[in-house]
Amino acid sequence: MENNLPQLEAVEPSTGRVLRRLPVLAPAEIERRLRAAAQAFEAWRRTSPAERSAALRSLAGRLRARKDELARLMAGEMGKPVVQGRAEVEKCAWVCEYYAEHGADFLQAESVTTDWPRSYVAFVPLGPVLGVMPWNFPFWQVFRAAAPALAAGNVFLLKHASNVPGCAEAVADLVRQAHLPEGVFQVLPIRSDQVGQVIEHPAVRGVTVTGSTAAGRAVAARAGAALKKTVLELGGSDPYVILEDADLDRAAETCALARLINTGQSCIAAKRFIVVEGVRARFEARLTEYMRARSPGDPMDEQTTVGPLARRDLRDQLHAQVEASLRLGARCLCGGRVPDGPGAFYPPTVLTDVRPGMPVFDEETFGPVAAVVPARDENDAIRLANLSPYGLGAAVFTRDVARGERMAREHLEAGVCVVNDYVRSDPRLPFGGIKDSGYGRELGIFGLREFVNIKSVCIR
């Protein structure tokens, strides 16, 4: 979890300049907001699905109206290129509209034939849900968790990452502009060491976390002791398997895109490229060509597709993983050097001859570093893909679609598996991982039903 800070501080990653500081909440104000959430829940749970849908549509409208402003805010606080920032805001509007349209249907009671004359399953909101959210998608992560919670009749409390306080304040402002009832969606500007006390507060009934595996374990332990429901979307080391019959041009271009989205700072970014030996040389040559062509630049520039990393310490950690892997026998095909000058920039990098035991294979790499892993054949590729503590996303590239589907469905150990494309979340589909990538699901009908009381009602 984040360093304990006397105040929350945003540092522009492209320059190192401090943008803003925000004081954390005092304990008395935290208590007041938690009590307000509990009070707001009692009214919000009784609103009609139509009223909740109207609120979500209003949020979607405010997001779209401020898309350019919010994209620049992300570029300043965590370095996301503005083009990608606008797409992120648009996706936030989409998820709000999706649950506005489908929330009522997802909450419909389901009749069950039993020995009772009448019995059914009802889906009833739980109460205030605490969202502990990261900096890498500072709007999308928030709204993909909050939209289904609000549609279900819960209220939402946001503890955002400490290095994006401006984004957190913008979320609070969006809620005010959308005229949601007071207390239904609140931002808690607090330090990580204050999260446990919030989890234990009797007002809080569930916790959803997106972040590192270490952060998820810490929150889950505290929530488990307090018997609070949790959903954890944690780290990933997504494998992309390239079989001998793959369209190598398409695979390499897609893999480069999947590695560089958000400058590689994504749990579901492609990280390990496991290539059958017969096509490895051709694939890695194409991949290197695509990666070398993407130079990091000013995230405010409309032409930039790769920005800085969010913080210098994260850049230094990534470079240490690269250097350690090179010492263990990996080879660098491009990148791999820390550039001179200010900011947290790191070049798109391709390492080959990567094997288990190297940091870029064993650990999550949060930045634009692609690890090419040789495999003898399909079975060896599956073994290497699954030889990871993570299980968030995975992909396979092959011209034989039935073969790829069989591998995705039956063999790859991940919560989201894709054939001939890159892994991404979609409001219509459940999203989440297994193993050290967490548990529970966001999005789709399953995401809405994570924070409800699945109640059996039996009548004679």
What are the start-end ranges of the E strands in 254-323? 270-276
Token pair of 294 as six digits? 């993407």
**Cβ contact 155:126 at 8 Å:** no
Say whether 96 is catalytic: no
Say whether 233 is catalytic: yes
**Cβ contact 398:246 at 8 Å:** yes
Task: Provide φ and ψ at 36, rounded to 5°.
Answer: -65, -35
CA 184 – CA 54 distance, rounded (Å): 14
Of 278, 59, 47, the closest CA to residue 179 belongs to 59
Pick the catalytic residue: 88, 233, 364, 442? Answer: 233
Task: Report which residue type is found at 229.
Answer: K
**Cβ contact 48:202 at 8 Å:** no
Q: Please name the helix (run of DSSP H) or strand (run of DSSP E) that holds residue 64, with its range, or none.
A: helix 49-65
Task: Provide φ and ψ at 207, rounded to 5°.
Answer: -135, 130
**Cβ contact 226:377 at 8 Å:** no
Proportion of the chain in helix, strand, coil states, percent, rounded to 5: 45, 20, 35
Pick the catalytic residue: 267, 364, 413, 450? Answer: 267
Q: Please name the helix (run of DSSP H) or strand (run of DSSP E) that holds residue 403, with its range, or none.
A: helix 401-406
Q: Which residues are known to be catalytic?
A: 233, 267
